[in-house]
Amino acid sequence: AKDSYRQLQDTFYKYMVKNGFDLQRGVPKEETNRQHYSVEEYEKITNFKQTKEIAKTLNVKNNTVSQYETGSREPTFAVIEKIARKCGYAIYFVNNKNNDIFTLNDLKRKDI
């Protein structure tokens, strides 16, 4: 079954390249010594369930949360607030002039 799947991938790759697509074929795991993970192991490694919960809380797609994590997309401050609350964190602001500390509850939106 694996060999027939690999043959299908190879045939598809050759067909696409022959028809002008600029593709790169991955290297088989036997050549790279990569470890295979089950779906459950991969979800645990990538914090899939937590990402899914946060995405639901923010009313965004899972990949949006992943983009926040990798830095390819910047969350708004409102999103940062929601993530902090969901994860049990508080956001503090420090006045660099006098070292006063403010929380979100201390500030009004017009003050920010």
pLDDT tens-digit readout, 23-65: 888 887 778 888 888 888 988 888 888 888 888 988 889 889 8
Q: Compute the distance between CA of residue 46 and CA of residue 31 in angstroms, rounded to an integer.
A: 24
Place of tokens 């999103």: 79
* Residue type for position 106: D
- Can you read off the two tokens belonging to residue 75? 């969350």
- The pLDDT of residue 38 is 87
- Tell me the per-residue pLDDT of 54-108, one tens digit each, with 9 for 90 and over: 889 888 898 898 898 889 999 998 888 888 888 888 888 888 899 888 887 777 6
Does this model's pTM top 0.75? My answer is: no
Residue length, the chain? Answer: 112
Distance of alpha carbon 54 from the chain centroid: 11
Give pLDDT, residue 48.
Answer: 84
Give the pLDDT of residue 109.
58
Single-letter amino acid, residue 29:
K
What is the rounded CA–CA span in Å between residue 34 and residue 32? 5
Q: Which residue has the higher pLDDT, 112 or 61?
A: 61
